[in-house]
Amino acid sequence: MRSYIIAGNWKMNKTVAESVALAKEIVEKTKGISKTEVVIAPTYLAAAKVADVIKGSNVKLAVQDIHWKDQGAFTGKVSVDMVKEIGAEYVIIGHSEQRQYFHETDETVNLKVKKVLGAGLKPIICIGETLDERKAGKLESVLTAQVEGAYKDISNGDALKTVIAYEPVWAIGTGVVATDDQAQEAQKSVRSLVAKLYGEATAEAIRIQYGGSMNAGNAAGLLAQNDIDGGLIGGASLKADTFFSIIEAAEKR
């Protein structure tokens, strides 16, 4: 049985003080959570302080990206050792906003995934199609390229440590959520792509989150789908109440 993983991607929201306050609220609310893995991804600037807040709690730390190089002249970037030192367990890789605005490609996703796994951390690998791609009937080919690209030269053992987040770009931050069926259909095909690479057992073990306008109202329906093992949540993760409602929807299943 796959366990649910509910992760809040705070993106470029919340100052350090606001991040600490929100993390404290989430720690408090999730004290009774036992089955669901809860992860929060603040900005780099707030990550170390948030790590202190969540120490010993049911909440785990993620960061929103890393560079694939160990160190050096890469202005504005953060290495995997830096985020490991402060206690991050997960790293979000290949978010559509990185792909869209910051030149992320399937090749750089693969380099980052390797770097994260090499450091003993776990990548949350984001994939998903744009509306134009979906309308043009390219859903399957886009997801295939993204999955094959991300997992190039990754061993089966390492693949098992990864999480995939299926985030249709047209659903992110738009309030237009994929229907339960749309999300399930896409995520089922993602799982069969993983099965082609690593076999059925690995594909059944890897968790696939849904992301894109997930909220307290639609979470239960999405999480009830066979191939939806959690959520990667933006807007609705910025308030403890709504984020916790989604965690509860997973915990109750």
Could you say which DSSP state residue 86 is in? T
Q: Which residues contact 68 (CB under 8 A, 6 or more apart)?
A: 108, 111, 112, 114, 115
Which lies closer to ligand 13P via its Cβ, residue 123 or residue 234? 234
Q: Is 66 helix (H, G, I), strand (E, B) or coil?
A: coil
Q: Is 131 helix (H, G, I), strand (E, B) or coil?
A: helix
One of 173, 176, 199, 253 touching ligand 13P (CB under 6 A) = 173
Return the beta strands (E) in 48-184 as ranges.
Answer: 59-63, 90-93, 122-127, 163-166
Of 179, 243, 253, the residue nearest 29 (C-alpha): 243
Q: Is 213 in the site for ligand 13P (CB under 6 A)?
A: yes
Judge contact between 101 and 122, C-beta under 8 A: no
x/- map, 181-210, ligand 13P, by CB under 6 A: ------------------------------
Please give the angle made by the CA atoms of 145, 148 and 154, to the nearest 5 degrees. 155
Round to whole Å and give the CA distance between 223 and 211: 11
x/- map, 220-249, ligand 13P, by CB under 6 A: ------------xxxxx-------------
Which lies closer to ligand 13P via its Cβ, residue 183 or residue 198? 183
Which lies closer to ligand 13P via its Cβ, residue 94 or residue 198? 94
x/- map, 9-48, ligand 13P, by CB under 6 A: x---------------------------------------
Task: Please confirm, yes or no, whether 95 is among the known catalytic residues.
Answer: yes
Which lies closer to ligand 13P via its Cβ, residue 149 or residue 212? 212
Round to whole Å and give the CA distance between 178 and 116: 29
CB neighbour burial string for 10-45, b if at least 16 within 10 angstroms, e if fewer: bbeebeeeebbebbebbbebbeebeebbbbbbbbbe
| CB of residue 167 to ligand 13P, shortest distance in Å | 5
Task: Please confirm, yes or no, whether 85 is among the known catalytic residues.
Answer: no
Which lies closer to ligand 13P via its Cβ, residue 117 or residue 172? 172
> Which contiguous run of DSSP H or E holds residue 136?
none
Marked catalytic residue, from 37, 167, 248, 251 = 167
One of 23, 211, 219, 246 touching ligand 13P (CB under 6 A) = 211
One of 46, 47, 54, 172 touching ligand 13P (CB under 6 A) = 172
Residue nearest to ligand 13P as judged by C-beta position? 234
Residue 206 phi/psi, 5-degree rounding, is: -75, 135
One of 167, 229, 248, 251 touching ligand 13P (CB under 6 A) = 167
Active site residues per annotation: 95, 167
Binding site for ligand 13P (CB under 6 A): 9, 95, 167, 172-173, 211-214, 232-236
